[in-house]
Amino acid sequence: MKTPFLPFTRPSIDEETIADVADVLRSGWITSGPKVQAFEAALSEYCGGRTVRVFNSGTATLEVALRLAKVSRGDTPITTPLTWVATANVMLEVGATPTFVDVAPATRNIDLEKLDAAIKPTTKAIIPVDLAGLPVDRQRLYEIAKSRNVRVVEDAAQSLGASSHGKAIGSTGDFVSFSFHANKNITTSEGGALVLPDDIDPELCERLRLQGVQRFPDGGMDVDVLGGKFNLTDIAAAIGLGQLKHLADFTERRRHLAHLYFERIDPRLGLELPPADFENSNWHMFQPLLPPGTDRGAFIAAMKERGIGVGVHYPALHLFSLYRQFGFKEGDFPVAEDIGRRIVTLPLFPAMANGDVDRVCSALAETLRKS
């Protein structure tokens, strides 16, 4: 009997959640409604009572956060080049021009030692990214941001369930953006959430989420800002409510699997393993770096032949054609470029068995010893 293919990720959705989705479909109210309100309330409770609004993607939450932070044409917000391209694309959407700061080799997150020097009068916001679920040091980040009077939009798309200095990501800080994409630690199939700071009007956030519309009790309406079509459906919210109940268990299981990888990967293979942070990271992904000179495409193909799915998260985005048009080039951010060329994402998701880690490690050994 052939061994089943092991993808690098797969969501775990229980039968109770599937039944809840069926109930929503039967109810006739399938777009934004009571389930969205319940999901926002549950997320607010998780985030220590902070105001949370849900959206149809994590990308939308970042864009709306920038608009709420009044980032616009002529501004130069800062982020890392080692992230999903959406983090920078939303800056272009609001008319701003991205500024990149290289990553620190030890964390693969934005190098906070280089951040202060990159802040200019046109820097209204910083978007740090918690790569693979390892949080940027929030204490140091906010020391820099507050000293320079710059807003922070935390791209916590990958770090729900993680913590920094003993505080859950989302429970403190300025804007915090989560993603519920299918590959995230909890999913709504597609979706996201934005945690709002106290000085931001939630009703303005809601108008930006849905075409700028403001409704009145008499049935009239007005539009006073340009909004998008970013609302989450009740179908998606029902999935999210079911997933959120399992977040702690999912995180514990991911940490256990990551421990197994550290124990069982043969150090003689030459892989550079990710930061071994089991206190703060939620282990959204397990990402070693291939040995220098390894043909990554051939490696991925060889692992696939052995029944193992491998992802790439992420190439350094400043080298994409779109961003080269802004003058970015090879050599601008050497640490991110090196990591982006060699990084691979190995299977890690809660439904994996311990033996699946052994399968991956055996395939790694067979593949890298032959390459």
Spatial distance between the Cα atoms of 263 and 72, rounded to a whole number of angstroms: 48
Q: CA–CA separation, 214 vs 50, rounded Å?
A: 23
The one catalytic residue among 114, 124, 146, 184: 184
CA 140 – CA 138 distance, rounded (Å): 6
Q: φ, ψ for residue 147 (rounded to 5)?
A: -70, -25
71 vs 51: CA distance, rounded Å: 21
Question: Cβ distance 346 to 304 under 8 Å?
Answer: no
Q: Is 184 a catalytic residue?
A: yes
One-letter amino acid of 259: H
Torsion region of 38: left, alpha or beta (phi above 0 gives left; psi -120 to 50 gives alpha): alpha
Are 186 and 133 within 8 A, CB to CB? no
Q: CA-to-CA distance for 69 and 49, rounded, in angstroms? A: 21
**Tokens 């959206």, residue located:** 55
Q: Prior bond to 261 cis, omega within 30? A: no
Residue 85 CA: distances (Å) to CA of 35, 55, 64, 92, 324: 30, 19, 17, 11, 13
The beta strand positions in 269-360, using DSSP E, are none
Beta-ladder partners of 335: none
| Residues with active-site annotation | 184
